[in-house]
Structure formats: C-alpha cells, structure tokens
Amino acid sequence: MSFGYGLAAAVLTLVGMATGAGRLDRVHAFVTRATAITVVLLGVPGLLLCWRPALWLGLFTDDAGIHAVGAQYFRIIGPSYPFIGVSMVIAFAFQGLGRATIPLAWMIARVVAVLAAAVVCTHGLGLGERAVFTTIATGNVVSAAGLVTLFILTERRLRVAPSGAPPLTELAATGTR
C-alpha cells in the first residue's frame, strides 16, 4: 500500500500544479499514468499473496488456524489491492483539484456500507469471515469504480466551464464552480 500512497501524494502535487496552470490535459495524463502504475505495483503482490499466502503468513506464525484464515483473506482480498491503490490516487487527485470533500464523503459512505454489510453477514445471517472478506473486497472494487466515475464527471465539468467562468486557479482555490 505504500506504493499507492507514494504515487497518490505525487499526483496531488502534479494535479495541483496542472490545475493552477489551467492544464486539464496534464491532469488527465498524470492521473491515468499514476493509476496504471499503481495497478501494476499493487496487483503483483496482491496476486502473489493470493497464489502463495504462506510466503507472507509464514514470516509471522506457523499456526495452521491463522494460516487458514490468512490464506482465505489473501485469496479473496488480495486481487482487490489494485483497486485500493486506484482509490488512493483518485482521492488525492481530487485534492489536487481543490475538491477534497468528494472523496472524503465517498470513503465515509464506503466504510459505513462495508461495516454494515459485514455486521449483517456475521450477526444477521450467521456467515463467517469469508463473507466479511468478500464484503471488503467488493467495497474496494465498488469504491474505486465510484471514485473514477466521480473524477471523470468532475473533470468533464471543468473542461466545459462556460465562457466567463472563473479561471481554474480560482476554482481550485475556492473549491467551487
């Protein structure tokens, strides 16, 4: 996850500079490239841990019970790691645009929804950790898809700002349109 955070932090700065310069084409390029790099950097370990969870779990314990639950975790959630990175990059890109509220609200809604679904799965339906892991992985994918959609819509709105609208630098500074 550190790779995702590092690239996201760079995107925040690059998007902020491009926004200040009025270069939305650069915003799109920076976000697209960072997202692609993040998918690869988090996808490889996610898939490796999905395939061979004992490589990581064996560093901490030999307990068979922990290995069983940990393997289940990595097999279900590991493939969703790239989506966590995508969410990070997009959330930081929103901050670079001066719109930090959008990803914050989205992430709060995601956490509440995943937590509620996990509680229903375990307490209401009597399902085990597999259901919780599936809920988390689904939340990761849906969150990334939602943030990407919101970012594309925001980017389009900025591109088609009516003539006479305030410059991008003013929009970014005030966070309004």
The separation between CA 169 and the C-alpha centre of its own chain, rounded to angstroms, equals 26
Q: What is the pLDDT of residues 110-123, one digit of tens each?
A: 999 999 999 999 99
In this prediction, residue 169 carries a pLDDT of: 52
Those residues whose C-beta lies under 8 Å from the C-beta of residue 90, and which sit 6 or more positions away, are: 31, 35, 103, 144, 147, 148, 150, 151
Q: Specify the 3-state DSSP secondary structure of 166.
A: coil
Q: Which residue in 30, 36, 118, 21 sits closest to 85, CA to CA? A: 36
Side-chain-side CA neighbours of 158 within 13 Å: the count stands at 27
Question: What integer pLDDT is reported at residue 2 of this predicted model?
Answer: 78
Confidence (pLDDT) at 162: 55
The pLDDT, as a whole number, for residue 172 is 52
**By 3-state DSSP, what share of the chain in percent is helix, strand and coil, each rounded to 5?**
80, 0, 20
Residue 173 is predicted with a pLDDT of: 54
How many whole angstroms from its chain centre is CA 12?
A: 14
pLDDT tens for 123-171 read 999 999 999 999 999 999 999 999 999 999 999 988 886 545 555 555 5
Predicted confidence (pLDDT) per residue in 56-95, tens digit: 999 999 999 999 999 999 999 999 999 999 999 999 999 9
Q: What is the pLDDT of residue 165?
A: 53
Q: Of residues 168 and 7, which shows the higher confidence score?
A: 7
pTM of the entire predicted model: 0.84
Question: What are the residue ranges spanned by the domains of the chain?
Answer: 2-174
Total residue length of the chain: 177
- HSE of 101, CA atoms in CB hemisphere, 13 A: 4
**Helix 81-96, helix 101-119: angle, nearest 10:** 150
pLDDT over threshold 90, residue 55: yes
